[in-house]
């Protein structure tokens, strides 16, 4: 249950609890030099836009040196900037420009694995004694890999390396070998790297698949039926908490920074340990609400989703982390298809449903994260040919589905096209000029076909999705109850409408959201005498006793 609403004292106020985070995918944000790839100078050119949203923190996806097999999640040098993105001097200018606008910068930390191009891996495969044990090398078994673990991107998690004559573990792409965290030298090298970035003045980290660092001794076979074979032996492993506690104690606690862990299969119970009052991290991303539209447990199948299930997940996390732990709230990131195309209506009610979905995450407890383009109501794109895909995950899966008997791409196009991470990675839509104003060159990935309609320049009007997001951020800044208040659900198990209150002291806000494309009568005794603070419809509609399709309203109650 929630605790009793209390006043927030000045000492309890925490900047990262009050912050709204904007996530930027550098490859797709803005290209300043016409090579078709977004870059740091492009970001600097658009910082006034980001500041105009009212957000406080920017999370920048990886910009480190990388062969880009997984768009920067395969790092070959942790202390260098990827050439296509610019130089270290550009990055330093970016940090200064962000700080000059009173915003903060958190960087992506990818230390479960490196790239096979990383010097550590090169020396490890040569059995250089210093690096021999930096990765997880094993002999094969019975002419095959050492165990049955699977890569998240499909196929075995093991790759045979001719040079070393052994298999190495890669929980993601073959180009992303897992570091051996049991080796103290690896931990020290990683801690030093983290400290090096913190000394440069950044404000924290988003930590990539950070609950995967500890693998169970002996690397036993996993349950062959499980969703990700082997995961019971490498998610939240035995040393996990110890590694993060050491990181916190030795490095993080020396700085006033925020940390958010990305944690596959995270439960409320584990989140309380990782991000409770004494936990090593500030908050963590879970994935439960991003799986509602899976077909069964299957990621590469599309199923119907239900609002009651979403509400149940929200209730579990909002109430489960009330008190001394903190939520990270999001719909989109660079790995998720566009939310309007999943839980909204991208055709008839694109703008309305985008605003409704925005209302949800910006009125819940926890720190909200908004992904670039979400504030415009960007949608999934069409993926007409397998050649249009850039996402290593989608390409691998398309190949697998074809090998497993699909006749042609046509047959798997709907599911691959719906789920591919490329949906989030199409260029940011700035205006209706060629390539949406993203680049003068050939974009590295196709631009969404709707860019002439959906773009920043076209959303100058006060009733645009963009300006509604600005209003939402402002609303959150104006009402402590939206940040620190208790969450209480009002309507339960409804398949169309969800409603909840956020209460702090004498202030009680009431949020009601119609997730359907039908008109729904509102019978809300709570709002009698309350004042409407925000709605995504015009004045006449918002005053009616009926909720319009995808209508969202936020009231303050007397």
Binding site for ligand GLC (CB under 6 A): 70, 73, 110, 172, 208-209, 262, 334-335
Buried b (16+ CB within 10 A) or exposed e, 7-17: ebeeeeebebb
**Virtual torsion, Cα 64, 68, 72, 78, nearest 10 deg:** -30
Considering the complex, state which of residue 208 and residue 236 has its C-beta at the smaller distance from ligand GLC.
Answer: 208
Q: Which is nearer to ligand GLC, 110 or 395 (CB)?
A: 110
Q: In 36-153, at which residue ranges do the beta strands (DSSP E only) sit?
A: 57-60, 64-65, 77-81, 104-109, 137-138
> Burial code of 439-456, b = ≥16 C-beta within 10 A, e = fewer?
beeebbbbbbebbeebbb
State the minimum distance, in angstroms, from the CB of residue 76 to ligand GLC: 14
CB of 252 to ligand GLC, least distance (A): 20
Query: Rounded to whole angstroms, how far apart are CA atoms 372 and 374?
Result: 6
CB of 114 to ligand GLC, least distance (A): 10
Nearer to ligand GLC, 38 or 365 (CB): 38
262 versus 375: smaller Cβ distance to ligand GLC: 262
Q: How far is the CB of 335 from ligand GLC (least distance, A)?
A: 5
Residue 103 tokens, joined: 């915003």
- State which residue, 181 or 537, has the beta carbon closest to ligand GLC: 181
**Residue whose CB is less far from ligand GLC, 64 or 172:** 172
Backbone angles phi, psi at 453, to 5 degrees: -95, -45
HSE, side-chain direction, 13 A CA sphere, residue 113: 25
The distance of closest approach from Cβ of residue 70 to ligand GLC in the complex, given in angstroms and rounded to an integer, is 5
How far apart (Å, rounded) are the C-alpha atoms in residues 63 and 321? 32
Q: How far apart are CA 93 and CA 101, in angstroms?
A: 12
The token duo for 520 is 């729904």
To ligand GLC, the closest distance from the beta carbon of 551 in angstroms equals: 33
Q: Which is nearer to ligand GLC, 17 or 113 (CB)?
A: 113
Q: Checking DSSP bridges between strand 328-330 and strand 367-371, what pairing results, if any?
A: parallel
Contacts 24+ apart (CB under 8 A), 300-305: 300/397, 300/401, 300/415, 300/416, 300/419, 301/415, 302/414, 302/415, 302/418, 302/419, 305/342, 305/343
Active-site positions read 208, 262
Query: Which candidate, 146, 120, 118, 142, places its Cα nearest to that of 133?
Result: 120
State the nearest-atom distance from the C-beta of 201 to ligand GLC, in Å.
24
């Amino acid at each position: 249950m929630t605790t009793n609403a209390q006043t927030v004292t000045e000492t309890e106020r925490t900047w990262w609890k009050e912050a709204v985070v904007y996530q930027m995918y550098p490859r797709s944000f803005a290209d300043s030099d016409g090579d078709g790839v977004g870059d740091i100078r492009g970001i600097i050119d658009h910082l006034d836009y980001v500041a105009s949203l009212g957000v406080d923190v920017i999370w920048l996806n990886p910009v480190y040196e990388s062969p880009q097999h997984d768009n920067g999640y395969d790092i070959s040098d942790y202390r260098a900037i990827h050439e296509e993105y610019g130089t270290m001097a550009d990055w330093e200018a970016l940090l200064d420009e962000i700080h000059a606008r009173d915003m903060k910068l958190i960087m992506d930390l990818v230390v479960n694995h490196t790239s096979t191009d990383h010097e550590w891996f090169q020396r490890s495969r040569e059995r250089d004694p210093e690096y021999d044990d930096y990765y997880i090398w094993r002999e094969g078994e019975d002419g095959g890999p050492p165990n049955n673990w699977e890569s998240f991107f499909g196929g075995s998690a093991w790759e045979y390396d001719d040079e070393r004559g052994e298999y190495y573990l890669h929980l993601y792409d073959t180009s992303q070998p897992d570091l051996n965290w049991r080796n103290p030298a690896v931990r020290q090298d990683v801690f030093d790297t983290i400290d090096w970035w913190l000394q440069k003045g950044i404000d924290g980290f988003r930590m990539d698949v950070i609950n995967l660092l500890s693998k169970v001794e002996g690397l036993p076979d996993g349950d062959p039926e499980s969703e990700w074979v082997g995961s019971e032996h490498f998610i939240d492993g035995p040393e996990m908490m110890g590694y993060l506690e050491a990181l916190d104690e030795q490095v993080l606690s020396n700085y006033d920074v925020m940390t958010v862990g990305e944690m596959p299969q995270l439960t409320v119970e584990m989140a309380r340990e990782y991000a409770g009052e004494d936990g090593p991290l500030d908050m963590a991303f879970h994935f439960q609400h991003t799986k509602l539209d899976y077909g069964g447990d299957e990621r590469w199948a599309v199923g119907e989703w239900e609002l009651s299930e979403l509400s149940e997940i929200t209730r579990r996390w909002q109430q489960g982390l009330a008190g001394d732990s903190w939520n990270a709230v999001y719909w989109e990131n660079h790995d998720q298809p566009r939310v309007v195309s999943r839980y909204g209506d991208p055709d008839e009610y694109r703008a309305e449903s985008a605003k409704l979905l925005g209302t949800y995450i910006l009125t819940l407890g926890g720190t909200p994260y908004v992904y670039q383009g979400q504030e415009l109501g960007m949608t999934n794109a069409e993926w007409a040919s397998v050649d249009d895909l850039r996402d290593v995950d989608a390409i691998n899966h398309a190949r697998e589905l074809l090998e497993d008997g699909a006749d042609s791409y046509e047959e798997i196009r709907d599911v691959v096209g719906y789920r591919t991470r490329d949906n989030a990675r199409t260029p940011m839509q700035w205006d209706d000029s060629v390539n949406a104003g993203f680049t003068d060159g050939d974009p590295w990935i196709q631009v969404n076909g709707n860019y002439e309609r959906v773009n920043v320049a076209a959303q100058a009007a006060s009733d645009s999705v963009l300006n509604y997001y600005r209003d939402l951020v402002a609303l959150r800044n104006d009402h402590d109850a939206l940040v620190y208040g208790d969450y209480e659900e009002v309507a339960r198990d409804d398949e169309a409408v969800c409603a909840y209150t956020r209460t702090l002291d004498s202030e009680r806000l009431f949020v009601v959201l119609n997730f359907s494309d039908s008109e729904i009568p509102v019978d809300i005794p709570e709002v009698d005498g309350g004042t409407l603070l925000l709605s995504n419809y015009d004045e006449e509609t918002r005053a009616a006793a009926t909720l319009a399709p995808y209508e969202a309203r936020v009231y303050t109650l007397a």
